[in-house]
Amino acid sequence: MRISNPSGESAKIIGKSHRALSSKASLWSVCVWLLCLVIALPIIVIFASIFFPSEDVWQHLIDTVLGIYISNSLLLMTGVSIGVLSVGILPAWLVTFYRFPGRSILEWALLMPLAIPAYIIAYTYTGLLDVAGPLQSLLRESFDIRYGDYWFPEVRSLLGAIVMLSLVFYPYVYLLARAAFLEQSASALEAARSLGCSPFKAFTQVGLPLARPAIVVGLSIALMETLADYGTVQYFGIPTFTTGIYRTFNGLGSSVGATQLAALLMVFVLSLLLLEGYSRRKSAVFEAVYRRPASRERLRGGRLVLCYFVCVAPVVFGFVIPFGQLAAWALLTFENIFNASFFQLSLNSLILAFLTAFFALMLALFVTYAKRLFGGFLNETAIKILSLGYAIPGVVIGLGVLIPFAWLDNEISTFTLKNFNFNMGLILSGSIFILIFAYLVRFLPIAINSVDSGLAKIKPSMDEAGRSMGRTPLTMLRRIHIPILRGSLLTAVLLVFVDVLKELPATLLLRPFNFNTLAVRTYELANEERLAEAAVPALTIVLVSIIPVILLSKSMAKSNYRNDEIIRA
């Protein structure tokens, strides 16, 4: 063996391994970016359509529907903003800073409406409050009056849609507001109280301003969901962007018009994304350096009653009533519904959800591990691009996926017909392949987020320890990271699984002919005014959707526990 002098045999070894390392890094990067390009394809397709404007389409849109789509979407956003803010913030404040019997139950129960998809709550309340519904029937019987003799609020209206969406989206505001309140230093609030502020004034002057950026993050998520909603506005007959895109594409068969509308909707979505990003950065600034959670004050008398009203009403209207109604209908109709076809569509949903969750997990592991191994600006940017999907409405993704895949199918068929005299048919756009792809675009960010935050908790020295013992990165992933990450991986799979199960608009647009899922069947039955029968598939979706809410409340309990420990120390 030579002593040193960097030439000769050992120098060759170095050169080789060094090149090997950097070429491996670039290979991973290339793969990550390829994935990025594929996943971003629908967004690119939609935005590219802006550069190929067709004047007649625009003129036609402006002349006819554009004004009403914009004004309805704006009204809906304004209404839902007012709704989620007024329903979501106060309970968060109360459960964080006050003590009352049942507080810890309400803390997680306030999340329960998240388990109910917006279109399902809309169907349920329509069934409850419609002319033929139990409430109006009771009213007519008790007072012996006929329809038209009395005033009753119309559920299927813009206001009705605002209420429905607020009832299921307020938990986003609640969740982020609660986290922000918990992070606030108790001393800031105690200082305000010692300077003569009443509890309410301390809330409005100190607590609320400090939590504002976090609340805006919650609000922007709720608004993105509002813009993405298709089932509710479609059922209530409110013309908005999502229903407009679907109608233009499916009813009028104009893909140009539909993409132009989708691009315009994306402008709304992007401004919400910017607002969210800006508020997230700002809320990081407000985070207290020194944290000691406030001791909780006991509530008594009139205030306690008021507090119960504020905290219990959202749970009752957002979960208990619709859940109870669904359960009652399901009991009435399950005999007709529980048959082979129901199991077939459950199986369809299950397969789609499972396959998507599996692929999402694999891809998420791949990109986050690439980031961990090689870091760097490129990989981080790729992850940011891959995370865009969650903000984009399902209708838009459906459209953005369908156009390139239909084109590709066409090309493939032409090619095979010409060369092999064989028609491949719609091999991509006519199969569940396209559905899974669209789901991945929309829900991959969820998987990436949970895997990434799980990986971040494993110290880098753990990797170095393994590598110093002669293990390659892939062995480390298999033997160390995956076993330690089990919890995060399971969470990622469950979250994607449930979101796929609930997804409606993209499924409607992309499903193969005669291929039904639980969500689509719920939609179909509701639109045939067979609401009671829709309850069985709807209830199935809701029951499965409770799983992520339980996961969420568990992680909430953990953060509470930590705080309690701090108090004891």
Beta carbons within 10 angstroms of residue 362's beta carbon: 11
With contacts defined by CB under 8 A, name the span among 17-25, 183-191, 295-303, 550-558 that binds other proteins. Answer: 17-25
The correct pick among 336, 453, 472, 555 for binding other proteins (CB under 8 A) is 472
Per CB under 8 A, 301 contacts other proteins = no
The answer to whether residue 297 forms part of the interface with other proteins (CB under 8 A) is no
The reply to whether 15 sits near other proteins by the rule CB under 8 A is yes
- Is residue 469 a contact residue for other proteins (CB under 8 A)? yes
Q: Is 483 in the site for other proteins (CB under 8 A)?
A: yes
Between 467 and 558, whose beta carbon lies closer to other proteins? Answer: 467
13 near other proteins (CB under 8 A): yes
Binding region for other proteins (CB under 8 A) out of 77-85, 171-179, 298-306, 468-476: 468-476
Of 459 and 568, which has the nearer Cβ to other proteins?
Answer: 459
Residues 6+ apart with CB under 8 A from 525: 531, 533, 534, 537
Which lies closer to other proteins via its Cβ, residue 1 or residue 340? Answer: 1
The binder of other proteins chosen from 178, 211, 399, 467 (CB under 8 A): 467
Residue 461 sits in the site that holds other proteins (CB under 8 A): yes
484 binds other proteins (CB under 8 A): yes
Query: Dihedral through CA 437, CA 443, CA 445, CA 449, nearest 10?
Result: -130
Pull the structure tokens for residue 84. Answer: 């989620």
Which backbone phi and psi does 144 adopt, to 5 degrees? 55, 50
Pick the piece of the chain touching other proteins (CB under 8 A) from 11-19, 123-131, 188-196, 350-358.
11-19
Complete DSSP assignment for 119-135: HHHHHHHHHHHSTTSHH
* Cα 506 from Cα 396, distance rounded (Å): 8
Residue from 42, 88, 127, 466 touching other proteins (CB under 8 A): that is 466
Judged by CB under 8 A, the chain residues 21 through 80 that form the site for other proteins are: 21
Considering the rule CB under 8 A, would residue 373 count as an interface residue with other proteins?
A: no
Closer CB to other proteins, 28 or 249, in the complex? 28
From 135-143, 254-262, 480-488, 504-512, span contacting other proteins (CB under 8 A): 480-488
Nearer to other proteins, 270 or 480 (CB): 480
3-state secondary structure of 288: coil
If binding is defined by CB under 8 A, does position 487 make contact with other proteins?
Answer: no
- Residue 14 as a binder of other proteins (CB under 8 A): the answer is yes
**Of 56, 154, 380, 464, which lies in the binding site for other proteins, with binding defined by CB under 8 A?**
464
C-beta of 148 vs 460, nearer to other proteins: 460
Phi-psi category of residue 237: left, alpha or beta, with phi > 0 → left and psi -120 to 50 → alpha:
left
Q: Does the footprint of other proteins cover residue 474 (CB under 8 A)?
A: no
Measured distance CA(304)–CA(484) in Å, rounded: 44
Task: Please check whether residue 58 is in contact with residue 237, taking contact to mean a CB–CB distance below 8 angstroms.
Answer: no
**Among 254, 241, 106, CA closest to 556:** 106
Instruction: Name the residue nearer to other proteins (CB basis): 142 or 461.
Output: 461
Size of the site for other proteins (CB under 8 A): 32
Quote the CA–CA distance of 540 and 339 in Å, as a whole number. 14
Site membership for other proteins, residue 558 (CB under 8 A): no
Contact 128, 325 (CB under 8 A): yes
| Interface with other proteins (CB under 8 A), residue from 420, 468, 568, 569 | 468
What the block records as the tokens of 418 is: 């010409």
We find the least distance from the C-beta atom of residue 380 to other proteins, in angstroms, to be 16
- From 313, 465, 474, 557, residue interacting with other proteins (rule: CB under 8 A): 465
Question: How many other CB atoms sit within 10 Å of the CB of residue 141?
Answer: 9
C-alpha distances out from residue 180 to 97, 106, 210, 549, Å: 12, 18, 8, 19
Residue 514 near other proteins by CB under 8 A: no
14 vs 68, beta carbon nearer other proteins: 14
Q: Interhelix angle for 118-129 vs 158-183, to 10°?
A: 130
Question: Which residue in 125, 128, 126, 91 sits closest to 107, CA to CA?
Answer: 91
Which of 298, 300, 418, 459 is in the footprint of other proteins by CB under 8 A? 459
N-terminal to C-terminal alpha carbon distance within the chain: 59
17 binds other proteins (CB under 8 A): yes
Give yes or no for a contact between 216 and 279, defined as CB atoms under 8 angstroms apart: yes
CA–CA separation, 444 and 441 (whole Å): 6
Residues that bind other proteins (CB under 8 A): 1-6, 10-11, 13-15, 17-21, 459, 461-462, 464-472, 479-480, 483-484
